[in-house]
Amino acid sequence: MVLHGSRAYLVTLVLLSVLGSVIAVWPRPHAISRGSGTVRLSQHFRIVIDKGDERLCKAKIADVSDMVNGALSPLRESLAQAIQRSQSRVQHDTHALLRVDRGASYLKSVKDASVLTTLSLSITREGRRRPITYETNFPYEKQDESYTLTVPARCKKGLCTGTLAAKTTLGLLRGLTTFEQLVYSFPPSVKSNAKFIIDMPVKIEDKPAFPHRAFMLDTNILRTLDTMSSVKLNVFHWHATDSQSWPLSLPAFPELAKAGAYSHDQIYSTSDIKRVQKYANLRGISVLLEIDMPGHTASIADSHPQYVACANHDWTKYANEPPTGQLKLGDANTRRFASAVVKDASSLMSSPYFSIGGDEINEACYQIDPTTSAALRQRSLSSLLKSFFDSVHGVLETAKKTPVVWEDIILKHNVQAGGKKAIVMAWISASSVQALVQKGYHVIHAASDYLYLDCGGGAWVGGTTGNSWCERIYSFDPYANITCSQRRLIMGGEALLWSEQSDGSNLDPTTWPRAAAAAEVFWTNNASRSAIEALPRLHDWRYRAVNRGVAAIPIGPEYCALRPGACNL
């Protein structure tokens, strides 16, 4: 999905701060209280399961070799891996406070501080004790990501324990990512390997404002999932196929990838798909797979030309981007083929949601296709599209999956998607949302004028002026121009990166920290959200991410990052 000539772009928080000391948690917690003390982490600090939670305690940490050999139950495995990841980050991160002295002035207070020996995890009495991978793939209305983090919760003779409580293992995972952000190291010049937390005691009660907080991508996936989890993004929208390439090797249709991928080395096998899904699920991220149709399907013509209209024609007339080709309408064989592809692909996915696209359908393409043009003489384009999507949606309904579609088929072609059971992604502009909720659809924000990340390099096709526009993500209001009663229809939103001009060489700086700004917008939805307050926290998150190997672009000079408020206008 591309906007030529004026590609959408997202400007990160190039805004200034007046705050001094902040607890630099990103995204901002729902509620937080803090003190002015300091605790030092024990050299033998451990994250443990509360012994009082007998059922959860059975999921105690096992040896890594046990996990590799598959000896753990799903509950034990998912918790063990989450705890070990956090334990490792706390131990190995060397991120120092963003102060002029990088925290060196805390040396004496840290030496004299009480010692935090453990962080104790528990599920509340009314909570669910199920694997993180299971909780991640619940329908949105059944998910619970809330948690309460207290550090320290209790101290005795200078030895302290923190507590993390949640109703689900998914909530525990979210709380662990928050705890990691509280811990700092001293700079190398101090010659101390102590880890410490400031502004103690701290109590954080947190929960998301929206259930869908996503990032859309189609390349270099695994390392991006780790960074997504760190900012509590919970959906990986995998735009897996498009006009240029079909990299998915489906069990029933292996020929699609064999003929349609860029090369035999650029194919996602079934095991690759399962690996991505498990990797994401263990990090609290569900995978929303998208097979875009009937448009953006030129790559199908390489293996099944009989189903594709206007393949290999002048793209400036018959497509929104090269190459041309979209699935035929008014043809029963094509409908059966499309439905079978969706059935095969959706069977691989654990998420209760599946996207079948529906954007940028080129009407001129169908006029030059004999099959579709003949059908258009008998029926309208909207009627033909309805038959196509009814067939595909029927497959998803049988699989007990909710369809996700782009706004075009509803607002442009007036097709009722899935009997209004579909979730609609509003991408053309933020103003589309009002029209969608008035029709009664649940909506995911994907506004190109706020949430697209692939702007700045100009258009990717030749012979254009290269114009771009840029908007500010952090100013985005998910409830703009809708009534209070319609707010229940807003499921959340996502940052999107179309990778025509992105690959492994520039993925990180193109994505981060801008996608982190989207993460906070859809985690908090605070109407009084302040970029002035946010900037020191985002600086801190970005420096911590770089410390972990993420090539996130600087938000501003280090001088300003170390002196909150000093660079204000």
Q: Which residues are catalytic?
A: 360
For the chain, the 3-state helix, strand and coil shares in percent, each to the nearest 5, are: 35, 20, 40
Residue with tokens 């209209």: 309
Q: Give the containing element (helix H, strand E) for 59.
A: none
Distance of alpha carbon 518 from alpha carbon 210, whole angstroms: 12
Find out whether 66 and 50 touch, Cβ atoms under 8 Å.
no
Cα-based distances in Å from 79 to 58, 59, 207, 382: 11, 7, 20, 48
Cα-based distances in Å from 431 to 201, 385, 450, 496: 44, 24, 11, 18
Token pair listed for 232: 């509590």
Distance of alpha carbon 53 from alpha carbon 254, whole angstroms: 47
Within 10 Å of residue 463's Cβ, how many Cβ atoms?
A: 7
Buried b (16+ CB within 10 A) or exposed e, 11-34: bbbebbbeeeebbbbbbbbbebeb
Q: How many helices (H) and strands (E) does the chain have?
A: 20, 18
Distance of alpha carbon 437 from alpha carbon 488, whole angstroms: 10
Find out whether 137 and 352 touch, Cβ atoms under 8 Å.
yes
Find out whether 304 and 250 touch, Cβ atoms under 8 Å.
no
Backbone CA torsion sign across 116, 122, 124, 125: negative
Token pair listed for 201: 């005691």
